[in-house]
Structure 1
Amino acid sequence: MKLLHTADWQIGRVYSQFDSGDGAQLSAARVDAVARIAELAVRHEVDAVVVAGDVFDSQAPREKAVVRLFEAMRGFAGPWVLLPGNHDAALAESVWTLARRLNAVPANVHLGLTPETLHVAGAAGAKIAVLPAPLTQRHTHLDLTAWFDDAQTDADAFRIGVAHGSVEGWLPEAADAQNPIAADRAQRARLDYLALGDWHGKLQVNERTWYSGTPEPERFRANDPGFALLVEIASPGATPNVTPVSVGRYRWVTLSLDVGDARDAQRAVDALAGVDSSTVAEVHLTGSCDLAWQERLQSALAAAENKAAALAVRVNDLRLAPTEADLRSLQADGFLGEVLDTLKVQLASTGDEAETARDALLHLARIQRELGAVPSETAP
């Protein structure tokens, strides 16, 4: 038997931390990832695709998002098994009842909304008994996989558990408090494989228990997202062979750029130049530099923002530390001269006042250079 294990699609996720256009593009990428999973299922001739929870990001996505999701799944005509997670729990009125009301769920999609065995005929002929552990509320302190131990299935069927939660003792403490799953559940319940969701990175718990992670990265965390897992089992009881398959389109990176001298500043410019259309970046700028490097860094930052899929400056503590030559180059008389003197004083302060002074001085330097008032040799 071969199956694709995936989870945490989070369809309908909103990326409010970015520009609205960039956020919409990232949301659409999640549906695109599902279409790529369907293509992988066909290419690898799998028996089924198992989705271990959080198919949707909330209980109230746009109806269009629900319909588009199931349309993206049509690329694989074999069986899909979808499990409710904590974001899309199987409530009395939920996103799942909405999907059915819209007649959006195809006949080849099995919804694991209750803790009952799903008998699935694999696309390549395998006989599969899927044991789902759906969340019927967002959080629980009970192990919903406990019923797997006593579930009766045919001896010639592959026995596959699907759950969404935290394997006890395996995840960071903050992520290990709710929706617990026993670490030895696969062994105790005689499972051929236990497909897990909730942890958004790829993670092996034991030879029969894996988190697939989210197929499309969606946060700045180095926990190995962006995969689906190809699971191959020779016969019931055999040890699974699990192969991660890359799915994600975007890479999420944090650029921590600390500037202390010209060499640091050049490294920061080079790092920003490495941003491309596949990059979602958050930028932390710290340190200090002179007027010429400030201008170069601001230009590099603007160029990176235009090239990136999405970019946000999370920290901007880069202080302008003009040299005497910088200050002499900024010549002004009358009222503008008084403003310039005030900005030089404010530059030595902290907080918003210093940032405003820095930006104003940069604008002034740029204007004077364009007008030819600043000697060309001071330009970088």
Structure 2
Amino acid sequence: MVRLLHTADWQIGKLFGQFDRDEAALLADARFKAVERLANLANEQRVDLVLVAGDIFDAQAVADRTIHRLFNAMAGFSGRWVLLPGNHDAALAESVWTRAARLQAIAGNVSLCLTPETLFLTSLGVAILPAPLTQRNTFSDLTEWFASARTPAGMLRIGLAHGSVQGILAEAVDSANPIAAGRAEQAGLDYLALGDWHGTRRVDARCWYSGTPETDRFRANDSGQALLVELNEPRALPTVRAIGTGRHRWRSDSQALQVPSDLEALLQRIAGYAANDVVQLSLSGQTDLAGQRRLRDAIGQAQGRVHSLLADVSALRLEPTSEDIDALQADGYLAEVVAELRAAQEVSDAQTARDALSLLAGILDDRRRGVGAGGAP
């Protein structure tokens, strides 16, 4: 029996530009730590080899230090690693892989599949059939040669590829780097390890996407895992088990505030955000000044507790009540402006007056409470 760990889409060097500098740096660092966990997992599960199905690096132009750090992160597992270039780190004539070779960063237990040639691991009784990308996008199926590849009788045939299985994934990701559905069976493969889709996904009994080991986007796609695969003998169906490897939970949350109970439910959810959460929060609807204050405080506290919280309140309107306006105790010229805007809400240009009144009320309330202009929301 051969036991292997199937992983992909490490995206080492990813920049996470939508976050502030400190948060982005921690998310980038988490990807190295995910590789360290994979090495430990390979030891714990006593696997014979680790297959990495493309996009090990997020870009060709990562720093030399990043290359060294990646291979150092892999050092915890002394068994065989088999790496495949994907679309982000394609095997160009001059690439991150040629640079890694010049840096002498690649350990002896690491096999790079830079050409479509069978890799024979005789001691394991395994033949790896790789389909490396030699450019970012290709419109022909690079796995076609698998069917004609000859391997010795009794040797396990394992395919390794990076791309989109046709007719399986969303149409938007179904164009470049195509892989025919049913390729594993058609090519007599015992297992086909795929990368490109960042979530764990079963294509058929012999073909799986492992997904990225550390979630990296706001999408519910079953990511943050690796696959433990057991192959008992040629042509026997593999046993595949997903194992959680991710540390950060990316979650997208939204709420339209219309009635007081909406705000209460939202505040309860925000209070439940945990230290490893990466949250994208989108708010719409309306709230009064008291609701705005409570919401601002809850978001501020959560931002100090979670890994990252991106709050978009651009679609949330401030609708101060009459009691809110009276409590502002505006006097002099400001009192006259407030009175005019309140009166204007009853005429044809009511929406403009309401928007202006809400903006002014928010500014006055912030000034009264000593809150800076940069506060949220």
The CA deviation string for residues 220-265 of structure 1, in whole angstroms up to 9 with x for no partner, is 1111101100000111221100000000111111110211111111
Counterpart pick for 1:156 among 151, 154, 157: 154
Q: How many residues align?
A: 365
- CA offsets 1:13-46 (integer angstroms, 9 cap, x no match): 0111011100110011011101000011000000
RMSD value, Cα: 2.1
2:85 is equivalent to residue 84 of structure 1: yes
Map of 1:278 onto structure 2: 276
What is the SS of the residue equivalent to 1:245? strand
CA distance in 2, matches of 1:351, 1:308: 35
Structure 2 residue identity aligned to 1:360:
I
Match among 285, 289, 293 for residue 291 of structure 2: 293
CA distance in 1, matches of 2:96, 2:354: 45
Equivalent positions of 1:336-347 (< 5 A) are 336-337=334-335
**Residues 342 and 213 (structure 1), Cα distance of their counterparts in 2 relative to 1, 3 Å cut:** farther
Between the aligned partners of 1:249 and 1:82, the Cα distance in structure 2 is 23
Distance 2:165 2:239 in 1: 21
- Which residue pairs with 1:363 in the alignment? 366
Asked if residue 103 in structure 1 is aligned to residue 101 in structure 2, the reply is no
Structure 1 residue aligned with 2:374: none
Contact 1:255 1:271 in 2 (8 A): no
Classify 1:191/1:336 alpha carbon distance in 2 versus 1 (closer, same or farther; 3 Å).
Answer: same
2:119: which partner in 1?
118
Instruction: Tell me if the contact between 1:288 and 1:321 (Cα under 8 Å) persists in the aligned partners.
Output: yes
The DSSP-based 3-state class of the residue aligned with 1:92 is coil
Show the 5 A alignment for 1:254-273.
254-273=252-271
**Which is further off, 36-45 or 306-315?**
306-315
**Any idea what SS the aligned residue of 1:325 has?**
helix
Match of 2:137 in 1: 139
SS at match of 1:349: helix
Q: Does 1:238 find its partner at 2:222?
A: no
Q: Secondary structure at the match of 2:56?
A: coil
- Whether the 8 Å contact between 1:343 and 1:361 is mirrored in structure 2 is no
Kindly indicate whether residue 51 of structure 2 is the aligned counterpart of residue 53 of structure 1. no
User: Counterparts in 2 of 1:196-345, with a 5 A limit?
Assistant: 196-337=194-335
Provide Cα deviations, 1:146-199, integer angstroms capped at 9, x if missing partner: 111111112222111000001010000000011111111111111110000001
1:171-190 matched pairs, under 5 angstroms: 171-190=169-188
Cα displacement (A) at 1:359? 4.0
Instruction: Tell me the SS of whatever aligns to 2:217.
Output: coil
Gaps of 5+ in 2: 372-377
Contact 1:133–1:162 (CA<8 Å) still a contact in 2?
yes
Q: What code does the residue aligned with 2:176 have?
A: Q
Closer/same/farther in 2, CA of residues 38 and 191 from structure 1, 3 Å limit:
same
- C-alpha contact 1:319 1:358 (8 A) present in aligned 2: no
Aligned to 2:32: 31
Q: Structure 1's 333 and 315: CA in aligned 2 closer, same or farther, altered over 3 A?
A: closer
Structure 2 counterpart of 1:62, which letter? A
Assess, with a 3 A threshold, how the Cα gap between structure 1 residues 350 and 144 changes in structure 2: closer, same or farther. Answer: farther
Question: Identity, % of aligned pairs?
Answer: 52
